[in-house]
Amino acid sequence: MKENLSGTNRMIVVKKLFLLIIPITLLPLGIAGYLASFLGADPFSVFLDGVHVATGLTHGQVAMINSTLLITLMFLFGRRHLKIGTIALAVTIGPLIDIFRTALIGMIYSGGEAEIIVRVIVMIFGCIFLAAGVGMFIAIDLGIGGLEWVVLNIAKCLKTKMRYARIAFDGTLVALGWLMGGLVGIGTIIGILATGPIIEYTIKLTQKPLERILTHRT
Question: 83: helix, coil or strand?
Answer: coil
What is the Cα–Cα distance from 202 to 216, expressed in whole angstroms? 21
CB 96 within 8 A of CB 157: no
Cβ-contact 94, 63 below 8 angstroms: yes
> How many C-beta atoms surround the C-beta of residue 53 within 10 A?
14
Asked if residues 117 and 83 have their Cβ atoms less than 8 Å apart, the reply is no
Number of C-beta neighbours around residue 40 at 10 A = 23
pLDDT at 218: 55
* Per-residue pLDDT, 217: 67
Give me the helices (H) in the chain, please: 2-19, 21-37, 43-55, 59-77, 84-108, 116-140, 146-158, 162-179, 186-215
Domain count, the chain: 1
Question: What pLDDT is recorded for position 7?
Answer: 57
User: Taking a C-beta distance cutoff of 8 angstroms, is the pair 76, 149 a contact?
Assistant: no
Residue 86 CA to residue 145 CA, distance in Å, equals 5
Instruction: Name the pTM for this structure.
Output: 0.90
CA dist 46 and 180 (Å) reads 10
Residues ≥6 apart with Cβ < 8 Å to 126: 29, 30, 31, 32, 33, 34, 35, 36, 37, 41, 187
pLDDT of residue 69: 96
Smallest CA-to-CA distance from 119 within 129, 109, 133 is with 109
pLDDT tens digits, one per residue of 157-185: 989 888 888 888 999 999 999 999 999 99
Range of the domain at 132: 2-215
Position 1 scores a pLDDT of 39
Q: What pLDDT, on a 0 to 100 scale, did the predictor assign at position 76?
A: 94
Predicted pLDDT at 6: 53
pLDDT given at position 2:
45
Structure confidence by residue, pLDDT tens digits, 178-208: 999 999 999 999 988 888 889 889 989 998 8
pLDDT in single tens digits along all 218 residues of the chain: 344 445 568 888 899 999 999 999 999 999 999 999 999 999 999 999 999 999 999 999 999 999 999 999 999 998 888 999 999 999 999 999 999 999 999 999 987 787 899 999 999 999 999 999 999 999 999 998 899 899 989 999 989 888 888 888 999 999 999 999 999 999 999 988 888 889 889 989 998 898 888 887 65
Q: CB neighbours of 146 closer than 8 A, spacing ≥ 6?
A: 66, 67, 70, 71, 73, 74, 86, 90
Cα separation, 154 vs 134, in Å, equals 19
pLDDT of 162 reads 80
Separation CA 174–CA 49 (nearest Å): 10
Return the pLDDT at 211. 87
